[in-house]
Chain A
Amino acid sequence: MTSITTFYLSRIVGIKAYDSNGKYIGIVKDLLVESESSNLTSGHPAVTGIKIKRSNQVAFYSFQQFQVEKLNGNIKVIASELSDLPQENINNDLSLIESVLDKQIVDLNGRKLVRVNDVRLVTLTNGTYAVAVDIGMEGLLRRIGIAKPLKFGLSVFGSNVPGKFINWEDFEAIDFSSQNIKLSKTYKKLQTLHPSDLADIIEELGKKASAEIFSSFDAEKAADVMEELEPETQVQILESLSIEKAADVLDKMPADEVADIFEGLEEEKIQLLLNEMEEETSQDVRELLVYPDHTVGSIMSSEYMSFNLNMTIEEVLAELRRTKPEFETLYNLFVTDENEVLLATFSIRDVVITPPDTPVSQIMKPSPVHLRDYQKINEVAEIVSKYNLLAIPVVDTKNVLKGMVVIDDVIEDLIRKRRTNK
């Protein structure tokens, strides 16, 4: 028995399988491998089952009794005996033909979608494993059946067809539309990607796969990814989720982002979501929804920190430690009176370099640059750039502090305008 045989999925699918006496069993249709959830010791899943078709009868057998042999370049599939594959394996294992070959997968290192042209397998003494997927030109040519002559032709000129493989550990299969694999088990590896990379990938996927991947994230991750998605995809994903799950995700997002997403939804759906969301977040969102499109109010963030002017730096720090605000919230800190009227601003830098017992009134900068909530957005970018600000306070006509506009939102708005040329 040879110790190591490597072969490609495309070479054994469609060929005849025989038993050890040379009797015909049927045609190889598919291979099943351990799915991601199983404890993979080597990172490479073992082949568990084989699908064989004989005169319109399809059967799954355990792969343990099968042997793949290479003789003078010809591949043979031989079974020592036939034992049925347990139903559990048929249900849970990953079908190479249905979920991997010709399907899109996520290349975790390249952080993008690629299409699988072939699967590389290896037979060792203790079993057969799926090692890598072929996403290169060579795999494509092999499938069409012209890889060998073309490679020979090119080798005459000292050239070669470039092969391109992704190791089994470095990708995630995502298309389970034709299999009954349970979702909780899958997509674990995707969690390691950055939310904006995940958003890019989800945008490029078909409806079913993108909804399935999204619902596999926990609410925190889902919220991060949701923020990065394009408006159309945000709406599409939200509509694919249950109201409860959607509300959970929206609760974890900044109120201004939620208000933006709601612009693309129907009134009825918005009310359902607002009722399901936590009281505090839905209240903030409701306030923002009042503002028409392209007013400052529609892009401002309602998360900000305001302090009384008699507080000391010590007390400010204690408050910050208690509330643990997001990084963006610290771009600018505000001083307000008992009616929430904006008096002054101060920066986190001032807080850091000032002795703890100093009152806020000593470091604050009175009569700060500010915006009105019904002001037009297109005036904001100029102000941001003129005064070199990271965040500008927004007040209403009575100078009551309503929120702040953060530089990221301004840039996002500019980019969107450039893209759609409104």
Chain B
Amino acid sequence: MFKNKKTFFTQLALFFAILGPGIITGSVDNDAGGITTYSVAGAIYGYSLIWTLIPSFIVLVVVQEMNARMGIVTGKGLADLIRENAGVKITFFIFVGLLIADIGNTTTEFAGVAGSMEVFGMSKYISVPIVAFMVWFLVVKGDYKIAERIFLIFSVSLLMYVVSAIMGKPHWSEIGSSIVHPKMPMDTQGLTIVIGIIGTTIAPWMQFYMQSSVIEKGLKMKHYKYLLIDIIIGCLATVVVAFFIIVACASTLHENKVVIEEAKDAALALKPLAGAIASQVFAFGLFIASIFSATILPLATAFYVCEAFGFEAGIDKKWNEAKEFYFLYTGIIIIGAAIILLPNAPLILISLWSQVLNGMLLPVVLICMILLVNNKKIMGEYVNNPINNIIGWTAAIILTALSVGLIVLPLFSK
């Protein structure tokens, strides 16, 4: 008995030492763009798109497991592997796409900062420059590792969406039936939102982030079991938060036919329907999520682009050693913040299109990944098993079909 207990605690300690890559990735996943997409989906389609979270969850776990395995076996970043095996042209296409999508995403994060602080009565002309400078300063001059831990603790506050949702008194039977009988909306707006939900849940840049953090932790095959638990917890957290955001918006906004365009609208609209606390909780969650992602996203993007094209990168390098890296990093933050401060900037369009661009890049990255992870020269005995391949390929094919559908559908509807 005692012995069992002891091994249980050693195992628990081991788990906490490894803990991180999956859970951090999962938390960053519910960023401002994600919250916006889920809110809009809930407000417009009610409970009817909730079923999309289930396939999203499965694909998310499978994809991140592949990333983790590749990181453990090769010790190389995904950008490195793509560049070395797919050549310059595909690499260039992926990373230019990623760069544009991520500038759009960063803009969305700052929109989240602006919107959430407006709920608390602070003008965006004050909040956005302050946050942008803080984020920049934190990474360039401060201690990124500590910041990451603090954000991680704060991101527990995302579970507050559960409170927001329950305060809206949702109809559980309708939720159940939507999951059991999934319906696919066959119009441009519906398709856009479905791709948006998948694109924001399984954001392409996340795969690069996941693989790098596994390498940085120096994990080995013997840690695989714990890492898998970490990934599943992270993905569950992502999907659970997404679920409650959709529910919160569906049970209040959708039933009262309130139309929203931004996550901020959702927070404001919740006030008369579910009370001031629900509204503030929603806004606070949005603020934390936005600032967390606004820190990681530009950093990660600058890092992968440099990795792929062979520039020096890393926050431990000096400005002179890694000019391209710091230039990109600073540039992404400045552009992202500046767009928000422009009067009449088409924020919703930017947010929507960066999610859709994510949704379209995803199959490309996914196909590259499946090819890499099946390559015996790279993975040795740890190549994919058939189940991984079936889920991976199915996801890639469905996502490609959805993306094509999104482009083709408007041509027929007119």
* Interface residue ranges, A against B (CB under 8 Å): 102-104, 112, 114-117, 135, 140, 143-145, 175, 177-178, 205-208, 210, 232-233, 235-236, 239, 420-421
Contact = CB atoms under 8 A, between A and B. Distances in A.
Contacts of A420: 145
Contacts of B345: none
B218 A236 contact: yes
A207 B312 CA distance: 19
B143 interface: yes
30 contacts: A102-B84, A103-B84, A115-B83, A115-B309, A115-B310, A116-B310, A117-B88, A135-B310, A140-B92, A140-B309, A143-B88, A144-B88, A145-B89, A175-B84, A177-B378, A205-B75, A206-B74, A206-B75, A206-B76, A206-B80, A207-B76, A208-B74, A208-B75, A210-B75, A235-B218, A236-B218, A236-B220, A421-B143, A421-B145, A421-B146
**Closest 10 CB pairs between A and B?**
A115-B310, A232-B218, A207-B75, A206-B76, A143-B88, A206-B75, A206-B74, A178-B377, A144-B92, A102-B84
A177 B88 contact: no
Contacts of A116: 310
B87 interface: yes
A233 B215 CA distance: 11
B163 to A, nearest CB: 33
Contacts of A239: 220
Given A207-B73, A421-B143, A102 B87 contact: yes
A132 to B, nearest CB: 15
B74 A233 contact: no
A115 B146 CA distance: 31
A140 B218 contact: no
Contacts of A144: 88-89, 92
Interface in B139-166: 143, 145-146
Interface string B310-326: 10100000000000000
Contacts of B87: 102, 143
A144 B94 CA distance: 13
Contacts of B143: 421
Nearest to B309: A140
A144 B91 CA distance: 10
Interface of B: 73-76, 80, 83-84, 87-89, 92, 143, 145-146, 217-218, 220, 309-310, 312, 377-378
B95 to A, nearest CB: 11
A420 B149 CA distance: 12
Contacts of A102: 83-84, 87-88
A421 B312 CA distance: 26
Contacts of A112: 312
Nearest to B93: A144
A235 B84 CA distance: 27
A117 to B, nearest CB: 7
Given A102-B88, A144-B89, A233 B218 contact: yes
A368 to B, nearest CB: 38
A362 to B, nearest CB: 50
B377 to A, nearest CB: 5
A206 B76 CA distance: 5
Nearest to B321: A112
Nearest to B72: A207
Contacts of B92: 140, 144
Nearest to B310: A115
Contacts of A177: 377-378
Contact of B310 (A114, A235, A236): A114
A163 to B, nearest CB: 14
B378 to A, nearest CB: 7
Contact of B74 (A103, A115, A135, A207): A207
A133 B53 CA distance: 48
Contacts of B146: 421
Contacts of A135: 310
A113 B375 CA distance: 25
Q: A117, A232, A235 — which one has the most chain B CB atoms within 10 A of its CB?
A: A232
A135 B76 CA distance: 20
